[in-house]
Amino acid sequence: MGKELRIILLVLLAAFIVIQLIPANRPVNEQGNYDFFVENEVPEDVEEIIRNACYDCHSQEVYYPWYAYVAPASWQVAKDVRHGRNNLDFSKWNQFDKREKLNLLDEIGDEVGEGGMPLTIYTIIHPEAKLTIAERERVVNWSESLAEKVFEE
């Protein structure tokens, strides 16, 4: 191995080690006693889809895998969870008013139906989160059904 290549590799290794010291500021899971699935009578198949494809960014039950502790991936994971919870947090569904719930259900239908969610980068790392056309249709139909119930409340 040439001297220049060795220096470059050492510099890259040192940079990798140094960036580990920059905190990711991962959002913490807040403990609560609200169960979105029970309170909204979510069918088991839809619950499984939501848990596999949505809950790691859109709830207070985030599971952080090993790569969520290694920069720079840790920064992206933290950013995605913050962004996901900011847009929709199933664990805090009971805190939304009727209008917010209807808007969120409309967004769920649009994003899932059009393939915008779950994010492609997430499904690459979590293949179980990749939704089939039938699963997408199931979530869209469920969101429309729940919207009707919320509207009637």
- pTM for the full predicted model: 0.83
CB of 78 closer than 8 Å to CB of 27: yes
Judged against a pLDDT cut of 80, whether residue 137 lies above it is answered with yes
Cα angle value 15/65/45 (rounded, 5°): 150
Neighbours of 11 (CB within 10 A): 10
d(CA 86, CA 27): 11
Residues 27-45: tens digit of each pLDDT: 888 887 788 998 899 999 9
Which residues 6+ apart lie within 8 Å of 2 measured at CB?
none
- Please indicate, yes or no, if residue 33 is contained in any of the structural domains: yes
pLDDT of residue 1: 67
Mean pLDDT of 128-133: 95
Q: Is residue 4 part of a domain?
A: no
Boundaries of domain holding 100: 26-152
In a domain, 20, yes or no: no
Domain presence at residue 12: no
Is 15 within the bounds of a domain?
A: no
Whole-number pLDDT of residue 17: 78
What pLDDT score does 15 carry? 76
